[in-house]
Amino acid sequence: MLTQYAIVPFVAQAKDVGVQQEISPHECSQAFGGSLFGFLEPLLQELDASMDKRPLRTLVQTVEAILAFRDQNHGLLLSELGGYMDGLGKGGGTKRLSTLIHHQSWKATQIDEFLLARAESQIEQWSGKGEEGLLIWDGTVLEKPESQAAEGLCAVRSSKAKRLTHVKKGYYTPPGAPIFVPGLHGIGLLLVGRTDQQGPAQLAALRWWTSRGPLASYEKDENCKTRSLALKP
């Protein structure tokens, strides 16, 4: 089934400096693409029963574009991400991405179940080898300083503003009060092993919540919901 979806073609990011490589860039690109498909395969197989092939292809291309182009200077807004996808397909990337996001045949809970299933599978593998892991509770925020009309936004403390206004020797003292910007609160669960041999950390769960509007909630309530999700049999 995975052969139905296109892999992002390899694009060289730097000139050859004369260092001999064991594998070609094309082979390296194909290897990473295969690993990505292996990661997404359980989710794609579940969605394949209820969604058309075109939104699924858009989903794979979206993940590929985020991995290829997302960095500190590129936040990948909807139009920006769609522009990158135009180069991967045949135009209309922003419209295809919008169609995928608003598609009626899938829900966010399917992604939550996908992440939990991966975490449970990893724990079973560790248990079979007599190894243990840790489930790390990580609180975060999604800052949207230029946004005001987006649904569910609330006041969050800006970590970026805190870094930029940190006292530096020889410069004026910045404001002492914390700076708040529009955004969303988040709670994440990271599954990590006790040793390096157990592999990299995995995201087991991620919840976003707001403290304003009709969907307003409280941190303690969201913590309880996340805890019950992690302990769900």
pLDDT (0 to 100) of residue 4: 52
Q: Which residues have a Cβ under 8 Å from the Cβ of 109 and sit 6 or more positions away?
A: none
pLDDT (0 to 100) of residue 61: 84
Domain ranges of the chain: 2-101, 108-230
- Distance separating alpha carbons of residues 161 and 163, to the nearest angstrom: 5
pLDDT (0 to 100) of residue 74: 64
pLDDT in tens, 195-225: 888 988 899 988 899 999 888 999 999 988 8
DSSP state of 188: E
Structure tokens at 192: 């990590």
pTM of the model: 0.69
Q: Which residues have a Cβ under 8 Å from the Cβ of 23 and sit 6 or more positions away?
A: 31
β-sheet bridge partners, residue 203:
190
Query: Which 3 state secondary structure label does DSSP give 71?
Result: strand
Beta-strand runs (E) in 40-172: 133-143, 154-157
